[in-house]
Structure 1
Amino acid sequence: MTWWHAIVISAAGIWAGMINTVVGSGTLVTFPVLITLGYPPVTATTSNAIGLIPGAISGSIGYRKELTGQAGRVTRLAVGSVVGAIGGSILLLALPPDAFETVVPWLIGLALVLVVAQPKVSAWVLRRSGSADGHGGPVLFTFVLLIGVYGGYFTAAQGVMLMAVLGMFLNEPIQRLNGVKNVLAAVVNTVAGVVYAFYAPVSWPVIGLLAVSSTVGGLLGAKIGRKLPPRVLRAVIVLVAVAAIVKLVLD
């Protein structure tokens, strides 16, 4: 790894940590950067998932005020995230690398659609939360589990998905929902990351850089990231993700 690669990866990690805390989809910054720097797609996604764990955890801690009184709810839903993440990570390991390389441009494209639609998702969550039942029950648990499967296979935009389903079933302000989203995304990344660390190809230098930089980004996101214009966050996501799709298709 060259010195300028390290600088680029660190900068991407800080930005991803902020984005994951505020909007979600930080993977759509770091994953394309790793692809552009020449890392194989599977190694890029596994290293990215492990490296962003500290940032996801620091972002969740930054939202601890919004999580007050939600311990039981978060614990129940986290079980679904754990089961889903195990299933998704097993899929990534069991399927041939060619299958991942074939499907990942489509997954990035889907994630981009979700990111672009995020303002409408947030507005819908605000409208819907007043009529949500406040519990969710087995249907919400099932949705969270399925998103965990997606996140265990390819983490990008799972935060946007989680915000959508949480808004459907929980009667809470959007920032309290965002706190729950941060915890569940951190659970998925952590579980999948543990599996990857033992059984998948990873780059430990990349993981180290992302771990430190995403932690800084997560803390910044919880403190000042909410003050940044959402359009700026989404614009960066779209630019780097489109670049990754082009590179993957051309290769």
Structure 2
Amino acid sequence: MDVGHILLLVFAGVVAGGINSLAGGGSLITFPSLMVTGLPTVEANVTNSVSVFPGYVSSVLGSRADLTGQWPRIRAVLPACAAGAATGCAVLLVTPARAFELIAPFLVLGAAATLFFQERLRGLVGHPRALSHRRRTVTLQVVVFVGAVYGGYFGAALGVMYVAALALVLDEPLHQINAVKNVLTVTVGGVTLVTFSLFGPVNWFAVLVLGPRRSRAVTRGRFWLGVCRAAS
């Protein structure tokens, strides 16, 4: 990895951290940047998933106030979240790299489509207020598990996917949905960090370049977002 590649990753880490502080999707910047440096597709994905973890932690710390009243719901879905992330990691590591190379572009398109067609999807599922308690509970567990499988397999745009999917189930303001998303993504990130550190082809130099910059950029983004919210 030469100086140009290092500078590219520094820039990508800062930009991705800023994006993640708003809604998520910063990995759509860092994942292709890692591939540009010459990393194979699976190694780039694994490295990206590990490097995003400090940014996830910063997001949770920055949204603590919005988690008031959400912890009983979060604790109920954390087992499904951890199990889904472990499943996604296992599938990535045991299947051929070529399979991931073929699937990855469609996963990116799926993430974008979920966000773009959120209102239509809500029309199919029904407004959260119209869901019975049992249906909401089951749907939330399924959404969290499937999202975590996606995050364990392919970390890019996990935050975007979770925000779009949770909004179909939870009748909460967007900032609270985003706070719940932060806890879920840090859980997925923790599982992927441990799993890929032990069994995955992580490029630790790239992680050291990306991770701290993503975390600092998320923190700055949260600060300015809070200033704007307070002023509005």
TM-score band w.r.t. shorter chain:
0.7 to 0.9
Deviation readout 1:23-73 (Å, 9 max, x if unpaired)? 111110100111122111111010100011000110111011101121121
Show the counterpart of 2:221. Answer: 221
Give structure 1 stretches of 5+ with no counterpart.
229-251
Q: Does structure 1 conserve the Cα–Cα contact (< 8 Å) formed by 2:118 and 2:164?
A: no
TM-score scaled by structure 1?
0.81
Show the counterpart of 2:137. Answer: 137
Show the counterpart of 1:246. Answer: none
> Which secondary structure does the structure 2 equivalent of 1:169 belong to?
coil
Paired positions, count: 225
Q: How far apart, CA to CA, are the structure 2 residues paired with 1:15 and 1:134?
A: 40
Show the counterpart of 2:70. Answer: 70
Offset at 1:213?
0.7
Offset at 1:130?
5.4
Offset at 1:160?
2.4
TM-score scaled by structure 2?
0.87
Q: How far apart, CA to CA, are the structure 2 residues paired with 1:37 and 1:80?
A: 35
Give structure 2 stretches of 5+ with no counterpart.
none
Q: Does structure 2 conserve the Cα–Cα contact (< 8 Å) formed by 1:132 and 1:170?
A: no
Q: Quick one: percent identity of the two aligned structures? A: 33
Structure 1 residue identity aligned to 2:86 = I
Equivalences for 1:45-194 in 2 at 5 Å?
Answer: 45-114=45-114, 117=116, 128=127, 131=130, 136-194=136-194
Q: Does structure 2 conserve the Cα–Cα contact (< 8 Å) formed by 1:21 and 1:56?
A: no
Q: How far apart, CA to CA, are the structure 1 residues paired with 2:131 and 2:172?
A: 8
RMSD: 2.5
CA 1:226 to 1:94, structure 2 compared with 1: closer, same or farther past 3 Å?
farther
Q: How far apart, CA to CA, are the structure 1 residues paired with 2:23 and 2:107?
A: 18
Offset at 1:100?
1.0
Show the counterpart of 2:9. Answer: 9
Q: Does structure 2 conserve the Cα–Cα contact (< 8 Å) formed by 1:131 and 1:171?
A: no
Q: Does structure 2 conserve the Cα–Cα contact (< 8 Å) formed by 1:57 and 1:186?
A: yes
